[in-house]
Amino acid sequence: MLLYLSMLDTEEEKDKFTEIYQQYQHFCWYVAFQLLGDAHLAEDAVQDAFLALTRHLDKVEDVESQKTRKFLMTIVKSKAVDILRKQHGEISVDELPGEPAASDADVLGAYITKENYNHLISCILELDEAYRVIFEYKYVHQLSDREIAQILDITPKLVNVRYFRARKKLQQMLEKEVAGHAGK
């Protein structure tokens, strides 16, 4: 009975995967193409994204929901960013795992207020995709560092490093944005 149920589950997952692919293949390609500017590289990113999705199908509840669309968008964007990273050579020094320096005081929290919401939006829209995807995985899709690491094929420690870098970047942007607005 258990075996039957496990087989059924696999078949259901297979159907779900095919459904997702058929529904979002072009959407995913378009997202990747916008970042990469190359049709074939975009195909590679789509393929990598769907391969990563096979391991996280349980996170997709409703194939047609906006949530699924967003989840796929983040995965494809992160895979496209990976391709860009590979294209630009080795990992940059700031990518190397290491504890965030003590001087890099995390004051982002101070800027995340209802009053600064519009500034936050404009900063996020300008934020580099490489940083944005980490925030999306964490706050929009509510994934843990380990889950993000699995999708990105990196270590949870590196996920944490990237997250801190992203926070720092956003903080710098917000600082400028808020200061600029106050100056006006």
Partner 1 sequence: MQENKKDTVQNGAQKTKKEQKEALQKELLAEAFNACMEEQMSFIPPEREIARMHTFSDEFQASMEELCRTKGKIRKQEATRREFVFGFNRIAACILLMLVVGGVCVGGYLISERGIGGSSTGSTAEYSTEGSTEETVAESAEQAADTALPEEEQTDQTAAGTDLAEAEEQMLPSESDGIRMLISSPVVDRDMETVKVTFGNLTEETVSYSRDLELQVCIDGVWYVVPKLHTEQEEAEEQDAQTQPGTAEVKLEAGMAQDEEIQLSEYRLDYEAEKYRVVSRIDGRLFGSEFRFETLEEGLEEALDGSLDSSEQ
Residues forming contacts to partner 1 in the complex (CB under 8 A) are 10, 13-14, 17-18, 21, 23-27, 29-31, 33, 39-40, 43, 46-47, 50-51, 54-55, 57, 66, 69-70, 73-74, 109, 112-114, 117, 120-121, 124-125, 132, 135-136, 139-140
In whole angstroms, give the CA distance from residue 45 to residue 69. 16
What sign does the dihedral 142-53-157-91 (CA atoms) show? negative
**Toward partner 1, which CB reaches closer, 133 or 161?**
133
Q: Which two tokens stand for residue 93?
A: 């020094």
The minimum distance between CB 70 and partner 1, in angstroms, equals 5
**Toward partner 1, which CB reaches closer, 49 or 158?**
49
In whole angstroms, give the CA distance from residue 169 to residue 108. 9
**Toward partner 1, which CB reaches closer, 51 or 98?**
51
In whole angstroms, give the CA distance from residue 127 to residue 167. 11
Residues 6 or more apart whose Cβ sits within 8 Å of residue 117 = none
The minimum distance between CB 164 and partner 1, in angstroms, equals 15
